Structure 1
């Protein structure tokens, strides 16, 4: 894994980062998302303190992340149940085939 040095700007502050090359695009997209949310909050809620805006952005993004993670976990649990059902049906089918072959 090769690392690259990049500089990102969030809320007017520059942050130098050393990241894996394959993560660079994801980080830049995350920075764009954060900065767009900052602009949205400043425009819609007239919040002037950058710390308050960053806190609100963080709260919104993390709550969205938790919601997506919970939904993914529920879907995964549902898929596990479906696969268990399919596996059980395949076992029963194999037992039926074995029974027919024995006759």
Structure 2
């Protein structure tokens, strides 16, 4: 569609952004998720410095992303094996 200008608040700071209209909802949800996680860390740990809270938040999301990537790669290996097994069975079946 087109780009729009939005303002995103993360850790009490405003960030003006230009984003595609299709991405606006995802970006706003991401900012809300970050702010929620920061609030959770602030309530559960004796940390008040925004930089420390943001670092903890980045670590949390990066860890989650790497775990998801690992699971995805494992799933891909399983799918490739299953397709190869199926191909072998079909080849054997049609060569009889």
Same fold (TM over 0.5): yes
Aligned to 2:9: 9
Aligned to 1:84: 84
CA radius of gyration, larger in: 1
Residues paired across the two proteins, number: 96
Runs of 4+ with >2 A deviation: none
State the SS of the aligned residue for 1:48: coil
Unmatched segments (≥5 aa) in structure 2: none
Q: Normalization by structure 2: what TM-score?
A: 0.94
Counterparts of residues 55-70 of structure 1 (less than 5 Å): 55-70=55-70
Q: Normalization by structure 1: what TM-score?
A: 0.88
Aligned to 2:46: 46
Unmatched segments (≥5 aa) in structure 1: 97-103
- Shift of residue 83, structure 1, vs aligned partner: 0.7
* Counterpart-to-counterpart distance in 2, 1:14 and 1:74: 39
